[in-house]
Each structure stands twice: as C-alpha cells, then as structure tokens.
Copies of this chain bind each other. A is one copy, B any other.
Amino acid sequence: MPDSLSTTSVPLPLLDRIRAIVGPKGVIEDASEMRRYTVEWRDIYVGRVPLVVRPASTEEVSAVMRLCYEAGVPVVPQGGNTGLVGGGVPHEGGNEILLSLDRMNRILAVDPVGYTMTVEAGCILKTIQQTAADHDRLFPLSLAAEGSCSIGGNLSTNAGGVQVLHYGNARNLVLGIEVVLPDGRIWNGLRALKKDNTGYDLKDLFVGAEGTLGIITRAVLKLWPKPKDVATSWLAVRDPAAAVEILSGAHAASEDNVTSCELMSRQGVEFVLAHLPGTSDPLAARHDWYLLLEWSSSRPRREGSASMAERMEAYLADCLERGLVLDAALAQNEAQAQAMWKLRESHSEGQKLEGPSIKHDISIPVARLAEFVGKGIAAMKQVVPDCRPVPFGHVGDGNLHFNCQSAPGQDKAAFFAQAEAISHAIYDLVTSFGGSISAEHGIGRLKIDELPLYRSEVELDTMRAIKRALDPKNLMNPGKVVRI
C-alpha cells in the first residue's frame, strides 16, 4: 500500500496509459501550468504531482480510476480549487495524480416543471445559478466563490453559504448523483426522485466526503421558484441576542420567507469600509453590531396585498420599538441591496487586506449563539489580549466565522505562533456548547488532526470503517478527512 506522504513517484507506464485514455487535451504536465491546480489558492499548501488529468466524460474518469487502482496510485479529485481546508490539493510527495473535473462542465438538462437540473460535476456554480434564472427558477446555493467553484466541489464539501437558513446546505439541494468509485466502477444514482427508501442513503455519504470515498461526476439538482419580491435591509442591532430574537420573530412575520440573516460586528465592517473601494456605511452613526436581513417571496408584488418590503418595514418598526433594532436602512432598489451584500461578502477580503488573521468556521445551537459570542471573544482575548475578534456569519444556522485579527502592526510570525492556542481555546468552547469545529468548510487536510480531539473515538472509528470498506487500498484522496 503506497504511503501518500512518501516521495515514491508514479510509474511512467501508468502516465502513458492515462494519456492514451484522455488524449492531449486531457493532460497537463507543464509545471507552471499545473500550478493553478496544485497550489492552494491562499498558498497554504503547495502540492506536487507528475500529471493533472482532465477527463472529458464519466467513462474517462472511470478508466483513469481503474488504472490508478490497479497500479496502487492515489488520486486527488478537484473542482474549482476554491476550498478552504486543502481537501482538493495534492500532497507534496509527487506520488499522486490530480484529477480535475474542469472539462466536465456541461448543463445536461433543465426541467422547469419538475424543478430539476442535471449537470456535470465541473459546472461552475454561477453558470448553474444563471441557467436556473433563465428558466424562471432558482438554484439557491450562493457563496463568495460562486464565480469559480464547481458544483462537484460544492457537493463534495456539502457547501453552505448565505441561504442555508431557508433552502438548506448543498446536501439538501441535490436529488441524485453519479459517482466513480475508487476502483473505477460507476454508481449511477442519478435519480430525480423526491422520495426513495430503497436501502442505505449512499448519496448523503458521498456528499460531504470531500472526495475520499469516490468522485462525484454528475448530479441532479433541485430547483426552486425564482423570488419575485425581495426585501433587503441593513440593521444596527442591540447585540447578538437581539439578532437571534429578530430572526425568531421574522419567520412568522415574513410567512417563513426569511432567506438570509447575516450578523456582523463593527470591526469586520470597518475593515471592509477601510479597504474596499466604493463601499460606504448605510447608516449615519456607528454601531457595534449589524444584521443583513433578506426576505424573498416567489409571489410577485400585487395590488391589495402588502409587498415584502412593506411587511419587513412593519416588522422592523416593531423591533425598533422593542429596542432590538437601533437603526435600519431598507434597500430602495437592487443597487442598494447589492451595496449591502457587498459589505457582507467582502468580509474575508477586508480581513485579508487588513493583515494576518486566524479563522474558525464553527457552529453551535442557535439558541446559544449570543452566549457563545460573548464567551468566545473573551476566550480569544485571554490568549492574545490585543487581538481584534471578527465574528460574523449565519445567525439562522448557528454558524459563525469566528475570526481573530492580529493587532495593527503585530509581527506575523509572532501572531501565528499563537494560532494553535487560539484555535484550541475556541474549539474547546465550541465543544462545551455541543458545537462543531467545521460548520461548512469541511475537514480536508487542515483539520484532519483536529478532528480526533473533538469527536469521539466511536465516531472516528465508524468513519474509518466506512472509508476502509469503500476504499480498501486508501487511494481516494488519502490523508484528507480521516486517516486509516
């Protein structure tokens, strides 16, 4: 069995046979051309492979996998290479093949009546969103990397984003998948069924497995009615507890049409305002906490019935009266709504431009979110007293990006030397809240050694048993999620 971290090279005859399967367009071997596949986009990992293979069909993926399986060569599947935990990046040893799905990027079918779309795994998320919109439908997965991430990667990581609250995460947006197994066999689970109780839920096992059990090659996605009446507001709120309360009441006030509810702190917003050109504060005064609230209805505005904006306004007036909301700006047009979203979606960029930061993608039960924010900030400051906490995220999911920005001008190396202590302080607290150390980004390579600290031996052991059962040679994206 090959050790994924060894420097054993891939046998040359295997490379020849792979070239023969996929043809000249299907391989990249030039070192500089390979970099966009082998280097993690934030330069955290720099992998090395002899060859990037880009199959054009499921059959080609299958043939390549079969060869690698027989030769005992590990394969790293990759979508848009936008992941945040190194799940799609090869190791440094040069003994793995990188298999990119980027040539399998076709929309295969759209069924607006049945509310489904069938796509190849390499389809860019944005293309899927736009195709749905062209058919008066919505594919609700929405996240910062949507212009370059692929649906195969989204499914393999069970991606989250800003509309999980209403539509669920990627797992909930897919009806069926096709998977090439580690030995090259093809599982056709490409079913467009809302209900199917014929045995174990294989689909949900491959979704979120980060390519360690097989390669998702095609998918039948669910579509929703396209929103016709959207209200967006930017709120200054009393505190995180108020944010939870505002959301709790918003469900009924909007008739279950809350599609986003994003919490931000002044600190995070300030980084955006300072570094991103063209951004401005929608409110006159400074406030400590903000909420971006969006309600969407699939029913067009009509005479004699209150629009979403009118209903939201009425609800916010009530929240102002109760002291939950301190000030509010309701977007008057699409441009204003987009400007509010820009403040939210530039949070990562704002932090990056401000300087070094240590990131956490955690979740806790929604009801305890406010309590966690207070204790989490205190825990962070106990380790690094002058750090600048930047908590933000998805209130309805109990999912916070609980980041820690270095003090202005602090030495980068000295700051990162504290990374482990900060992360463990946060993760220990998360665990005491019954939470998760990876709400939406996954485990990949980044958290593979953290997972055993925060999940039970029984849980890890069950995962390992599944991994061994489906990938007995440990050739499928080894060294990610779980070690066997």
Contacts and interface: CB of A to CB of B under 8 A. Distances in A.
Interface of A: 111, 113-116, 157-158, 160, 164, 168-169, 171-172, 181, 185-189, 191-202, 204-205, 207-209, 213, 225, 228, 244, 248, 251-257, 297-300, 304-306, 363-368, 394, 396-399, 434-443, 447, 451, 454-456, 458-460, 462-463, 465-470, 481-482
A191 B462 CA distance: 17
Contact of A195 (B186, B189, B201, B399): B399
Contact of A298 (B191, B198, B252, B456): B252
A458 B256 contact: no
A171 B196 CA distance: 11
Oligomeric state, in number of copies? 2
A200 B463 contact: yes
A167 to B, nearest CB: 11
Contacts of A436: 191, 193, 195-198
A364 B193 contact: yes
Contacts of A196: 363, 436, 438-439
Contact of A199 (B202, B304, B463): B463
Contacts of A256: 225, 256-257, 297-298
Nearest to A435: B193
Contacts of A456: 187-188
Nearest to A256: B298
Given A169-B195, A199-B451, A443-B198, A114 B257 contact: no
Given A189-B459, A468-B469, A439 B197 contact: yes
Contact of A200 (B192, B195, B481): B481
A61 to B, nearest CB: 14
B113 A248 contact: yes
Contacts of A228: 252
Contacts of A460: 199
B438 A365 contact: no
6 contacts: A185-B458, A188-B458, A195-B440, A199-B482, A252-B300, A468-B469
Contacts of A248: 113
Closest 4 CB pairs of A and B: A114-B367, A469-B469, A204-B204, A196-B436
Nearest to A192: B365
